[in-house]
Structure 1
Amino acid sequence: MKVANYPAWSEAAPLPTLRGGCAGAVIDERLYVLGGGLSAKRPVAHVESYDPATNLWQKHRPMPQPRNNVVAAVLGGKIYAVAGLVAPADSTEEQPLENLPSDRVEVYDTQTDTWASCAPLPEARVKPGLCAVNGRLYALGGRHGDVNTTSIVSYDPAADVWTKVADLPLGVRHAPAAQADGMIYLTGGWSPNGDKGDIHATVWRFDPASNEVTEVAAMPEPRVAHSLVEVDGQLLALGGVTADKSFLKSVSLYDPTIDRWTTLDFEMDPRGIFAAGLIGRQVHVAGGWIKLYKEPHTAVQTHAL
């Protein structure tokens, strides 16, 4: 994949419901943006999709329960929305309460615009890495209660069962995952340490065939709350937050065949915890925060590769 002389990002039609903490998934040449929050304590259930051919957004049936910091993946032509933060039962619009980690798993059929419930995660978690490989979902890490879990669990949609398959060497949250050539890569993330915790550049490769976890080349800089998109067997790490808690503009490319990261010669508008997806030869980003849990990004942007 060529990494020089990229054109600039261009703006697309704005997301109808501005929000951060949302998930993204691509089906039938459309980017679906699911859930998120209007603030840290105000999760939403909105589902909207973008058609780059018409530059128009369409609203869909919302998720059964509002969820902030939800993650999503496509499996069997359907979108699975997993984990996240939910408001406690006694939270109100006038007095919203601290949200709680969720074990909830729901599947959305884009053809019928309907949602169905699936077996819950073995443990509630926030922002695990989520990826679909060989007919199964894998959830890696994430926040469980006040700590990060190291657990990697696999979901069999035919049996509607989750099974623990391995552990990460380090528990991280807000570390996105993506697959390349059947391997799952979990990138960066945050772990508690002292007052501010640590943001990592570490990358773990998980082999679903052997359930082995291996550390591979680290990203050029630490990242958390970023997005990871597979392109031609390589991985794009976009945006997020770096070690000094500033938002990143940089975009990095990982080639697993040579185990090397390259910082590309184009930048994006900084944003964190946002939806991203590849449609054709264009990367689309939508939603997310420019001030975490306080100010959502207003622009939807596209970059041609």
Structure 2
Amino acid sequence: TSGTQSVSPTSAQTYNLSCTGAGGTTSQSVNLAVTAPTTGDIWASKTGMPGMQSMSGAVSINNRVYVIGGNRFSDIPSVYNYEYDPATNTWATKTGMPTARSGAFVATVNNKIYVIGGYGWAGVYYTTNEEYNPATNTWATKTGMPTARAYGGVAVANGKIYAMGGKFYAGTAGYIQTIYAGDITITLTYYPGGSDVIVSSNEEYDPATDTWAIKTSMPVGKTGIVSSSANNKIYVIGGYYQANSSTAPVYYNTRNEEYDPVTNLWTIKADRLTQGTSSNGAVSVNNKIYVIGGTTNEEYDPIANTWTLKASIPTWQWAPIGATVNNKAYIFDLLNSVGYTMEYTP
């Protein structure tokens, strides 16, 4: 005779199977090996980035992540360019960008990286646009953005880059001073007596033509925002706004605004769950957006317009940045002079 029996082992087990028929009874032992299913919503620690920098930009190309620019030595901007390979969990130093900046708008189109705008310390904000080609490890200068600013949101949709929000510094006449910070010598122009100006600008860059276009501004001017794209729409989340004075109150928010590049229109979406700050990063995995900061990890589903709390990041993050490789998110940050790399599997 023959027959079947269904079993659902939760670990490797041995089963004694017997069969009784006209010829008698036979028995046989069968070993069933069980492979634990791959679960999601988990974090893993990886090799920390070699440079001590924060407020950098991160993008992925050809299954590798590039972390570029950022602050070193108490707000001194850097030119550093590091490549991270998740497959080998190793870092490599690449050619640094020509202009030292932090808080720049960093994005990738057609396997090239664009570092746009940014902060140069002591009240200096840039319109600079520099293109990095990982295949040749070289940089090229491109047309600068219309408005000098930094610490805004950046996202890519339909092969174009959108730089949104941020701030610049409105100062008085400056004076020159040279400073020394570790291995870097920088000549700076100081602008005393000025204040930050937070903007709602939305500027579109087309790498194919190296041209800029002014688009519909954000509903509210903000800086310190996070942004990401999903389904060819852009989402600008959190951040803060402040009157144009360094002594005015800072208002953090949970706003979530969707921008449609096709219609050039903004739509208010469901607020994020927790009080926003300027110290967050955002990555898109499988058309869902993950906003990460402190230890909080929130998932936004643009189709359902809903938020879900996910597994907290194990190490507290001050100003994380992130990129996606093979449906996993890689989060980078600097805390207490230690560079962190965390891998998240949704």
TM-score (norm 2): 0.76
Residue aligned with 1:166, SS: coil
After TM superposition, which residue ranges in structure 1, 4 or more long, deviate above 4 angstroms? 5-8
Could you give the per-residue CA deviations for residues 16-37 of structure 1, whole angstroms, max 9, x where no partner exists? 1121111100011111100011
Partner of 2:173: none
Shift of 1:39: 3.8
Partner of 1:91: none
- How far, CA to CA, are the matches of 1:190 and 1:264 in structure 2? 23
**Residues 69 and 273 of structure 1 are in contact (CA less than 8 Å); yes or no, is this contact kept in structure 2?**
no
Which of 127, 133, 142 pairs up with 2:157? 133
Partner of 1:93: none
The answer to whether structure 1 residue 110 and structure 2 residue 134 are counterparts is yes
Gaps of 5+ in 1: 88-97, 240-247
Cα 1:170–1:297 change in 2 (3 A) is: farther
The answer to whether structure 1 residue 164 and structure 2 residue 214 are counterparts is yes
Partner of 2:252: 199
Partner of 2:310: 264
Cα 1:39–1:154 change in 2 (3 A) is: same
**Residues 126 and 143 of structure 1 are in contact (CA less than 8 Å); yes or no, is this contact kept in structure 2?**
yes
Alignment of 1:1-305 (within 5 A): 6=40, 8-87=42-121, 98-145=122-169, 146-193=196-243, 195-223=248-276, 224-239=278-293, 248-288=294-334, 290=335, 295-305=336-346
- How far, CA to CA, are the matches of 1:209 and 1:235 in structure 2? 20
Gaps of 5+ in 2: 1-38, 170-195
**Residues 30 and 50 of structure 1 are in contact (CA less than 8 Å); yes or no, is this contact kept in structure 2?**
yes
Could you give the per-residue CA deviations for residues 37-68 of structure 1, whole angstroms, max 9, x where no partner exists? 11443111000011111111011000001111
Structure showing greater radius of gyration is: 2
Q: Which has the higher contact order (CA 8 A, sep 6+)?
A: 1
Aligned length: 278
Shift of 1:280: 1.2
- How far, CA to CA, are the matches of 1:281 and 1:183 in structure 2? 19
Could you give the per-residue CA deviations for residues 247-271 of structure 1, whole angstroms, max 9, x where no partner exists? x211000111111111113334222
Query: C-alpha root-mean-square deviation of aligned residues, in Å?
Result: 1.7
**Residues 70 and 85 of structure 1 are in contact (CA less than 8 Å); yes or no, is this contact kept in structure 2?**
yes
* Letter paired with 1:271: Q
- How far, CA to CA, are the matches of 2:88 and 2:69 in structure 1? 23
* Letter paired with 1:229: V
Fraction of identical pairs, as percent: 25
